[in-house]
Amino acid sequence: MLDKSYEYVKLLNLFPCFENKKSDFVRYNMNHPDILKLKSRYNIDSLFSNESFFENIFAAIKWIKEIVPYKTGRYCLNDENFSGLQLLDQSIATNTRLNCSGYAKILNDLLLSQGILSKCVWGLSSDLRDTECHVFNQVYNPQTRNWMVVDPAFGFCAIDKNNNYIDVAQLRECVENQESIYCKQTEYKDYDSILTSKYMSYIPKNLFMFGTFKESGAVYNPSKNQYCYIVPCGYEVEGYSSFVFTNNIGVLY
C-alpha cells in the first residue's frame, strides 16, 4: 500500500470497534412508484431471468455499465435526490455519465424491484467535511442468508481468500489487517484477481465510517433524521445534529 493509504489503515486500527445489534432502522421502498416504473420501463425482469442469484447480480451490473458510462469527478450527473429511474432517464437523455453514487442507486433500485434487499452504503473518511467518498451496495443473499458487498462502479463482488462473499464489516476488517481481498466478476471462477493496488490504496480512506438512508430505494433525500452515520465506538462527532449517528453497524444488516 502507498504511504498515505497506510496512514488510513492505521486509523482504522485505532477505531476498529462497532456495536452489532439487530436493527430495523432501514425501510425498503420496493413498491415505490419510481421502483415500479423503473421495472416496467426498462424491462428489468429480463435481467433477472437466470436461476443463479449471482448471475443475475452480474447481469444487472453489466447492463448498467453498458447503458450508462461510468465517470469519476464532478463532470457527471450527480443529483443527490434522484432515484435510480431519474438517474437513468436523465443520463440517457443528456448523454451524461454517472459516478459511483449513481451506479449504486440504480443497482439498489433494480434489486429492490426484484424483492432483493439492498442498501446504498457511503464509505466515508474520518473527516465529515471530506466529500470525496465511495458508494457501493450491501446486498442480502437469500441463498446463503448473509449480506455481501457489491461494488457496481468497479463491477465486482468482494470475496476473501477462501472464496466467501464478504459484508461491509468484513471488508473493513480485511483492510484493517491488510489481508487480500479478491474481485469476483463472474460466478464461473473461484475469483478473478486480487483487487488492484490502485483500489487498495484508495478504499482504506473510505472505510472509517459508513452512511446509509433510513429508506432504501427511490427516496434519496438527506433531510433531517433520514440519513444515518455509522461511526466506530470511541470516535466523537460534534456539530452535525441534523443527522442520525450510531455505533451500531447492525443498521447495515
Predicted model pTM: 0.92
189, 54, 210: which is closest to 124 by C-alpha? 210
141-173 per-residue burial string, b: 16 or more CB within 10 A, e: under 16: beeeeebbbbbbbbbbbbbbeeeebbbbbbbbb
The alpha-carbon radius of gyration of the chain (Å, integer) is: 17
For position 232, what pLDDT does the model report? 97
Which of these ranges, 166-175, 191-200, 210-219, 229-238, has the smallest mean pLDDT?
A: 191-200
> For 41-90, what is each residue's pLDDT tens digit?
999 999 999 888 999 999 999 999 999 887 665 556 666 788 999 999 99
> For 136-179, what is each residue's pLDDT tens digit?
999 999 888 999 999 999 888 998 888 889 999 999 999 999 88
Beta strand 244-246 pairing with 227-230: parallel
Would you say 175 and 12 are in contact if contact means Cβ atoms under 8 Å apart?
yes
Would you say 239 and 9 are in contact if contact means Cβ atoms under 8 Å apart?
no
